[in-house]
Amino acid sequence: MTKRLLFTICAASALAFAAEPDWRTIEPYAVELLQRYVRIASVNPPADTRAAAALFKAELEKHGFTPKLYQPGSAGQTNLVVRLPGRDRTKKPLLLLNHFDVVPVDAKAWSMDPFAAVIKDGAIWGRGTLDMKGIGVQQLLALIALKDAGIVPARDIVMLSTADEETNGTQGIRWMMANHPDEINAEYVLDEGGMGTRDVLAPNKLVFGVSVGEKQVLWLRLRARGPAGHGSQPVANNANLVLLEAIRKALDIPPGGKQNPVIEEMRRAVGQFADNKFTSAIQRNTISLTSLTSGVGSPVKVNVIPSTAEATLDCRLLPGVNPDEFQSEIKARINDPRVTVERLSDPVDAGASRSDTPLFAAIRKAILVEHPDAVVTPMFVPFGTDSVNLRKRGVIAYGVTPMILDAATAATMHSDEERIPLAEFKRGIRIFYDVLRSDF
């Protein structure tokens, strides 16, 4: 009998007889830890994540891990990497991916301090609870529970917590890929994305969507020009009016287009989609008007017609759509020499990760243990995540939010009154734990 075979048999035996984690202790501690984490206002910019990284580092070291910190920038941006060795070191690792940074808040629009981590109405409220400090704590404590139970996973599990997912990963995932690729050279990734819901994806049906891909991000600036003048004497080619007409034409996307196979698979799994902005966005290319800039002076003079007016468009394209062609079609619809169309982003078409893998099967099984009535399906998400950088290099990446969220709660991501339900937050740790202890 070879040493490797003996080790595998012993590890499998240990897995079979490992003590179940003490969830009655872990779950309240998880809530307290998430509260401490949310109270660290790691807003991006500037993404000073030193305190958040120190919090995770201390938790890991208490349980015998040896985390590493990387500081790529001078403004406190800090990434954390930690590894739990697995049974088969010849396999590439599973990467647990989360981010420390959060988007800014409009505190006046909140009914409470957005960084107080208040518990109210069965939920924990605060910036980052949903995106994605809650998931980060779930991943962290599932990894710790695995080690404390003495379970050696099927392969190495690496957790990477990044500093600046919210600003395109320049000092986070992209920096790590460029400077420390061996630390995160994975076969699989578990990141944010997807969710469980009874109303967002299908009416009156519990569906857990596991994200296998995301839309391309194409940001455009429209700039209209016209003669400046006195507001008392209207002109037909007022730059503001030219811009408004250009926006109207740009937003008029023709219907139709090729059906996406992931969406078709999802439709077969769930039946009728719910009718809302989320399901609409994952089925088609979209354009959102996100800013309008015009006027002369500060404060703007009401009686001055400006010579330029600008708008930004956030275009999200399904995988397989050519962004150059999409931008050209917008220019053709506008068809006005007074208006320029400038690209502000570099779209990445990473395609979709396959779902016929042992890891996807483990995710489905773990979800069904907690939610036997659920439909588990691959899906797209309309927003961007760090996973797109890894999918582009051939890594199989899944977005897993192991919580049931209603439409109102899901809509608080990047919005006011962000929150997650406490019961689902606790249950999500168990789902991650069951995935990590699986044979994948």
DSSP per residue over 30-88, as a string? HHHHHHHHHTS--BTTTT--HHHHHHHHHHHHHTT---EEE--SSSS--EEEEEE--S-
Q: What integer pLDDT is reported at residue 25 of this predicted model? A: 97
**Nearest residue to 185 (alpha-carbon basis) of 56, 91, 60, 67:** 91
Residue with tokens 């899906």: 379
**Nearest residue to 177 (alpha-carbon basis) of 394, 371, 25, 325:** 394
Q: What integer pLDDT is reported at residue 17 of this predicted model? A: 52
Question: What is the C-alpha to C-alpha distance for residues 42 and 29, in angstroms, rounded to an integer?
Answer: 21
Neighbours of 301 (CB within 10 A): 12
Q: What is the pLDDT along the chain (440 residues), one digit of tens a residue?
A: 554 454 445 555 444 456 899 999 999 999 999 999 999 999 999 999 999 999 999 999 999 999 999 999 889 999 999 999 999 999 999 999 999 999 999 999 999 999 999 999 999 999 999 999 999 999 999 999 999 999 999 999 999 999 999 998 999 999 999 999 999 999 999 999 999 999 999 999 999 999 999 999 999 999 999 999 999 999 999 999 999 999 999 999 988 777 899 999 999 999 999 999 999 999 999 999 999 999 999 999 999 999 999 999 999 999 999 999 999 999 999 999 999 999 999 999 999 999 999 999 999 999 999 999 999 999 999 999 999 999 999 999 999 999 999 999 999 999 999 999 999 999 999 999 999 999 99
Q: What integer pLDDT is reported at residue 2 of this predicted model? A: 54
Question: What is the C-alpha to C-alpha distance for residues 99 and 121, in angstroms, rounded to an integer?
Answer: 27
The pair of three-digit structure tokens given for residue 340, joined into one six-digit string: 């320029």
Q: What integer pLDDT is reported at residue 16 of this predicted model? A: 47
| Count of residues making up the chain | 440
Q: What integer pLDDT is reported at residue 73 of this predicted model? A: 84
What is the phi/psi pair of residue 146, to 5°?
-60, -45
